[in-house]
Structure 1
Amino acid sequence: MIPPGFTGGYLDRADRLRHDVDGLAAALDWRTRLLVLGPGYEPQVDGAGRLGWTTLAQAPDDAELVLLGLAEGRAHVAAITHEPGTAAFRSPRVMTALAEMAPGEAATWGAARSVLDWHARHRFCANCGAATAPFRAGWGRKCGACSTEHFPRTDPVVIMIAEHDGRALLGRQAAWPHGRYSALAGFLEPGESIEEAVARELHEEAGIRVRDTRYVASQPWPFPSQLMIACVAKAEDDSLTLDRNELEDAIWVPREEVRAVLAGGTGAFLAPPPFAIAHTLLTRWAEEP
């Protein structure tokens, strides 16, 4: 079974060094590898699908660093750039690079992208408005005025297919590539369980009521920093009432057709890319008897 995209990272996150200032300083030596990133945190990928790395000497003298982790005795870091305005942007070059990445590389890049973007958007304290500075090896920021500590957050998102009579409900947004359909999704709101969020989103977006929600898999999604929680739920009927603010269209697709499309054949929809949790969700649903 192919693991969900953005998982399977090979770095030891080395939490122990986040609390050890002297140990971290000792780890940042000539062997340290600095992640190479382009504008918008775009990854640089070689012909083998590996991320680009350089030496710490290539970082600015006053660079603030995030310790991504350790591998083969070497620290792997990324430089905080405070690059604005890129929170949810996914350029075609990023999508191409993700499709080319070797296993585990997207997990490293995704973690770096999420935490760097968080730094860019949290330069000032939400408590008092004063400037903050990185601490804990770049996995937090601390206010210099009121000492409030801030940490990167992850926003939970439910992503799901409803099933009815051997068919899966798929929807599309107008901005997606022509023919692309995927699982429906939405943010989990405060005070909700996963099952309640699945039921609410499916009813709000497609007008259906569901039961018997089951968890399938999860995936980090670094645009900017979400945890996608993939589920399947049984629909009580197949009558749809679409929220046109959310969906351009929605269709019920038989399991055999989903299998054919995922295998590279033709069908009523273009499948989501393999690095998206929707692809994992559809694959596992299609493999059921």
Structure 2
Amino acid sequence: MASIKATAPRPALTGHGMDRDDHTRADEERLAQMLARSDARLMALDGLLPVLQGDGLTFTPLNGGEAHGELVYMGLKDETPIFAPVPGEGDTRQAFEQRANRAIVMQLQARDLAIYAGARSLVDWHARHRYCANCGKPTVIAKGGWQRNCVKSDGGCGAPHFPRTDPVAIMLVEHDGDVLLGRGSNWPERSYSALAGFVEPGESIEEGAAREVLEEAGVELCDVSYVASQPWPFPSQLMIGCHGYATGREITLDKTELEDARWFTRAEVAEALQSDPEQGAFRAPPREAIAHTLLKWWLEQGA
């Protein structure tokens, strides 16, 4: 089998370049100082959607943080404290509006897109975790927005809760120089992408990748290696890009997971990535998706 280089292009939604300033989160005095700074800025959000200023995010003066409700301290952007507002109850645009979100979000400049990705995941988590999963009592924001605590004074159990990230293995499966891609039943016509699925409790990334490929396409996977990762804030996944080799080419499709899966040549992938979406052997994943990054990386391995 051919050797695989470890490096890959940087996927979209990465490269925020911020100082997360973790030490300030747990220090109430330092956090108050950040809130009070004259240069502190608030990321403008309409529910979970960014308010755009051209192709960038909009940041407004924080003015001490009063009247903004719950705020998440995102850290320092070029030495400037940045906060993001948690939507009020009934004001969120949840993950099921993913397509509408993406159409607006992907207009952002690369760095702003990465900053927004983190903010969206956090404020969405806060909006959906106002009550304790352990006892059902109200929770309050803590550690600058990187934690919520159940309120003991309100009869709660006092349990701490932390933002979650759900790991998803997304796999480029190779056999004799071809790559296996699949399509979901509700996807646009001719759209194909890398197979993907959530890593389940009690399994490694490699095991999760192999299990998903076997379940969805009936193809056994071996020699799984990591390529690159991408945060995906709809609502809060970590896409873990992998490459592996199939032990055979026969496909046994799970119709509950995929409408179709097939093998594509390097020439077909190159044409799909470079051509008009309506041309070529298939419609390639959009540029913001890590599947697009993985396919470009895969082509470079054979260059």
TM-score range, shorter chain: over 0.9
Q: Secondary structure at the match of 2:144?
A: coil
Q: Does 1:10 find its partner at 2:17?
A: yes
2:264 counterpart of 1:264: no
Aligned to 2:142: 135
2:4 maps to none
Residue 169 in structure 1 maps to residue 188 in structure 2: no
Identity of aligned residues (%): 48
Kindly provide the amino acid, as one letter, of the partner of residue 268 in structure 1: A
Q: Is 1:32 equivalent to 2:45 in the alignment?
A: no
Name the CA distance, whole Å, in 2 between partners of 1:206 and 1:276.
21
Unpaired segments of 5 or more residues in structure 1? none
Q: Report the Cα distance in structure 1 between the residues aligned to 2:45 and 2:93, rounded to whole angstroms.
A: 13
The verdict on how the C-alpha distance between 1:59 and 1:249 changes in structure 2, with shifts beyond 3 A counting, is farther
Does 2:96 match 1:77?
no
Aligned with 1:23 (options 4, 22, 30): 30
Deviation at 1:111, TM superposition (A): 0.6
Structure 1 CA distance, aligned partners of 2:158 and 2:68?
22
Query: 1:227 offset after TM fit, Å?
Result: 0.7
Cα displacement (A) at 1:2? 4.1
The structure 2 residue matched to 1:96, chosen from 93, 103, 112, is 103
User: 1:63 corresponds to which letter in structure 2?
Assistant: G
Check conservation: 1:230, 1:281, Cα contact below 8 A.
yes
Letter in 1 for 2:104: A
The Cα shift of 1:168 comes to 0.7
1:158–1:229 Cα contact (<8 Å) kept: yes
CA separation of 1:91/1:62 partners in 2, compared to 1, >3 Å: closer, same or farther?
Answer: closer
Q: Is the 8 A contact 1:82 1:117 kept in 2?
A: no
Which of 129, 146, 158 is the equivalent residue of 2:169?
158
Give the match's secondary structure for 2:12: coil
> Aligned AA for 2:256?
N
SS at match of 1:137: helix
1:206 CA drift (Å): 0.3
Match of residue 190, structure 1, among 201, 204, 221: 201
Under a length normalisation based on structure 2, what TM-score does the superposition of the two structures give?
Answer: 0.89
Give 3-state SS (helix, strand or coil) of 1:108's partner. Answer: helix
Q: Per the alignment, do residues 58 and 137 of structure 1 end up closer, same or farther by CA in structure 2, a change over 3 Å counting?
A: closer
Counterpart Cα distance in 1 of 2:129 and 2:258: 32
**134-143 or 174-183, which deviates more:** 174-183
Match of 1:202 in 2: 213
Determine whether 1:45 maps to 2:56.
Answer: no
Work out the CA distance in 2 between the residues paired with 1:52 and 1:205.
42
Q: Which residue of 1 aligns with 2:224?
A: 213
SS class of match (2:245) = strand
| Residues 9-32 of structure 1: CA deviation (Å, up to 9, x unaligned) | 022111111011111111113321
Contact 1:42/1:93 (8 A) holds in 2:
no
Matches within 5 A, 1:107-126: 107-126=114-133
Tell me, yes or no, if structure 1 residue 67 matches structure 2 residue 80.
no
Q: Does the CA contact (< 8 Å) of 2:106 and 2:113 recur in 1? A: no
TM-score by length of 1: 0.93
8 Å contact from structure 2 (residues 14, 114) kept in 1: yes
Number of matched residues?
287
Superposition deviation, residue 125 in structure 1: 1.1
The one-letter amino acid of 1:76's match is: I
Q: Aligned partners of 1:281 and 1:72: how far apart in 2?
A: 31
SS at 1:124 equivalent: coil
Q: What is the alpha-carbon distance in structure 2 between the residues aligned to residue 59 and residue 251 of structure 1?
A: 53
SS in 1 for 2:75: strand
The residue that corresponds to 1:278 in the other structure is 291
Instruction: Give secondary structure in 2 for the equivalent of 1:177.
Output: coil
Q: CA RMSD in A?
A: 1.8
**Which amino acid in structure 1 is aligned with residue 42 of structure 2?**
L
Task: Give me the whole-angstrom Cα distance separating, in 1, the residues matched to 2:176 and 2:83.
Answer: 50
After superposition, what is the alpha-carbon deviation per residue over 1:124-161, rounded to whole angstroms, capped at 9, x for unaligned? 11222111100100110011122211110111110002
